[in-house]
Structure 1
């Protein structure tokens, strides 16, 4: 009998696993048995090595949503690096350009302040009385003497030299330093002037004669040719001139040579004098434009009627009443005035020494020589005889004042509504000289003429 002893000092042998087919036990109680193969179905398979557990896939934490800019940045990180435009350099260049341009302009300003080495030709400018520094600066710029009117204005203001500038005629040159310009404007070279007074109600021929008598114009024809534009002078810059109808009137300028007192330079052109009168007419009548439009009339008709009011009324206080009588004659529905004739002795076939008749004994009649010829041409009577034609004549019979024009537009409403058609003034040789008498009928008018000393 074999006894297996185990040496305590030696470690016990580790069992060896074998994957070979198991065989039947070969020894029992020391006797060897023949080897017998264990059936395959009875063999126990060695335990398989346990597979390591699969790690659980953890859900990735939700990434915070990124702003579009960050996504673009992520895309840019993944993309190939691109060459960026140097905006910083561009800004620097712009700043440098602005600085350079500013420096250039400042140098120009200083150059104008200090003046140029080369001066332009001498020219004369006229500074009107009452001109402002701004107006003078604009005048100098328009003349080409300076380039920057605002700079001149500021220089005069802050240098305290505004009080040195005078009005009058001055000789200056382009390229002059500002101090030299101011000095030139302080040396007065005044031109000789003359005052010309044109009374209200003066005819165009009478106005021309006033300028001849003042020594400003050589003769009446020269003045009238210029005023009528027949010498080629163009007055189309004035709206009133363009609105005057071409209707064979005696003179286009009649009525528009505004009566006033003018301070005018001597030794000027005829056009300069006529322009002064036309300019004043345009300026004064501008205030009437809205009323003219509202009344549905024309400025030319206003001037026509005003010329009769000026001649017939005589006194400004009576203008609106005389205007009412004329309006009633021209516009009334009374059968007696169905033909709407003006019937004014100031322009008619009636020849009386007491009447300042436009066609018979006025400066106009004398200019055309009609009394000497013994008769007024029929074509002229057809245009101006207010006893023969309906409505207003072809043109004004004098140059009326502003008050008469206002009265033509605004007649006395009471006299219109009450139906006054006639008026007469007291005879100069009576106690009622200059007094006005108004009537509604022809009979009443005759009685007024007796009172006024014109009839018996």
Structure 2
């Protein structure tokens, strides 16, 4: 009698075990139910495997917390749960979820610095990214550069305009540091490939001129031509006479138009008044603008005037330039 009961018990246990194994196998292969096509799973630092499994079950992501725990132990991942934000997408199985949260492949949040922005516009964009930590806006330019290990240096133009991605909780100063390092790298690469004989004595002078080129045209194909005009003017000892430098020198006083008095104002940046380059860049130049000033087009132009559509008319003589001004600025036939 005892033997029969034991046999029945063993058979029942075996059936139950097979059923659990089959159910476990189905659990591993079935996509996890997500409330949307994708969801962000935020795992705080110090979260345990058991605590995470229970939480995902409570949120409807997992059907069985203990199956997920068993999977982690079976794969040796029980102590490899990473902290951070992880994106779960439709079709992911529990195996995929475990692989994602043990890989450290956290969500990267983008912040974009735009070509032609000023340094303070770049700082404002980084400050507006609420997933980052720390503050930049309360620091002076001097303090920010000192924090980057560049005390006494001017920040304008020193940060490469691009889209950068960082995980939640990244210090904002780290974002700025990467943009600074990226500009250093790009500038060194382009300087190494520069044309010989340019009237540009250092990478920093190239950065200054590139920032002016960046502000002068929105037409990418014109950058080498614009650069050629400025390089030729520098060779001849002519003043650059470029409006963006006037605007930068005016600072907050600029209200959308330049008056004759503004062109005559003796600021450090007004290239209608000063000889050569201004003391610092006036904006964040991209690689194309830097490359243009270090490898300008071959031409004979000394002047250019806007057509009003984002492009320019280039002229080699003052007479031709004045005709272009009368046509495109004054509207004369």
The structure with the largest helix share of the pair is: 2
TM beyond 0.5 = yes
Aligned residue in 2 for 1:319? 223
Aligned residue in 1 for 2:268? 383
Measure how far apart 1:403 and its partner are: 0.5
Any conservation in 2 of the 1:227–1:274 contact (CA below 8 Å)?
no
Using structure 2 for the length normalisation, give the TM-score: 0.60
The verdict on how the C-alpha distance between 1:453 and 1:370 changes in structure 2, with shifts beyond 3 A counting, is closer
Aligned residue in 2 for 1:199? 114
Q: Within 2, Cα distance between the matches of 1:454 and 1:358? A: 25
Q: Within 1, Cα distance between the matches of 2:82 and 2:163? A: 20
Aligned residue in 1 for 2:66? none
Counterpart selection for 2:244 from 346, 351, 375: 346
Q: Which has the higher contact order (CA 8 A, sep 6+)?
A: 2
Any conservation in 1 of the 2:127–2:172 contact (CA below 8 Å)?
no
Counterpart selection for 2:145 from 210, 218, 228: 228
Q: Secondary structure at the match of 1:282?
A: helix
Aligned residue in 1 for 2:202? 298
Structure 1: state its 5+ residue gaps.
1-122, 125-160, 171-182, 333-337, 349-356, 428-432
Measure how far apart 1:423 and its partner are: 0.8
Aligned residue in 1 for 2:248? 358
Q: Within 2, Cα distance between the matches of 1:331 and 1:204? A: 29
The superposition leaves residues 49-99 of structure 1 with CA deviations (integer Å, 9 ceiling, x where unpaired) of xxxxxxxxxxxxxxxxxxxxxxxxxxxxxxxxxxxxxxxxxxxxxxxxxxx
Structure 1 moving runs of 4+ over 6 Å: 183-186
Measure how far apart 1:207 and its partner are: 0.5
Q: Within 1, Cα distance between the matches of 2:140 and 2:104? A: 28
Measure how far apart 1:288 and its partner are: 2.0
Measure how far apart 1:425 and its partner are: 2.0
The superposition leaves residues 5-24 of structure 1 with CA deviations (integer Å, 9 ceiling, x where unpaired) of xxxxxxxxxxxxxxxxxxxx
Are 1:394 and 2:279 an aligned pair? yes
Any conservation in 2 of the 1:347–1:385 contact (CA below 8 Å)?
yes
Aligned residue in 2 for 1:19? none
Any conservation in 2 of the 1:341–1:390 contact (CA below 8 Å)?
yes
Q: Within 2, Cα distance between the matches of 1:383 and 1:266? A: 41
Are 1:407 and 2:292 an aligned pair? yes
Q: Within 1, Cα distance between the matches of 2:180 and 2:328? A: 39
Any conservation in 2 of the 1:226–1:271 contact (CA below 8 Å)?
no
The verdict on how the C-alpha distance between 1:448 and 1:167 changes in structure 2, with shifts beyond 3 A counting, is farther
Using structure 1 for the length normalisation, give the TM-score: 0.45
Measure how far apart 1:301 and its partner are: 0.4
The verdict on how the C-alpha distance between 1:198 and 1:223 changes in structure 2, with shifts beyond 3 A counting, is farther
Q: Within 2, Cα distance between the matches of 1:234 and 1:219? A: 12
Computing the radius of gyration from Cα coordinates, the structure with the larger value is 1
Aligned residue in 2 for 1:214? 129
Q: Within 2, Cα distance between the matches of 1:389 and 1:310? A: 20
Q: Within 2, Cα distance between the matches of 1:270 and 1:315? A: 32
Are 1:451 and 2:332 an aligned pair? no
Aligned residue in 2 for 1:438? 314
Measure how far apart 1:273 and its partner are: 1.3
Measure how far apart 1:274 and its partner are: 1.2
Any conservation in 1 of the 2:82–2:102 contact (CA below 8 Å)?
no
Counterpart selection for 1:265 from 145, 162, 167: 167
Q: Secondary structure at the match of 2:248?
A: coil
Measure how far apart 1:395 and its partner are: 0.5
Any conservation in 1 of the 2:303–2:317 contact (CA below 8 Å)?
yes
Measure how far apart 1:316 and its partner are: 1.4
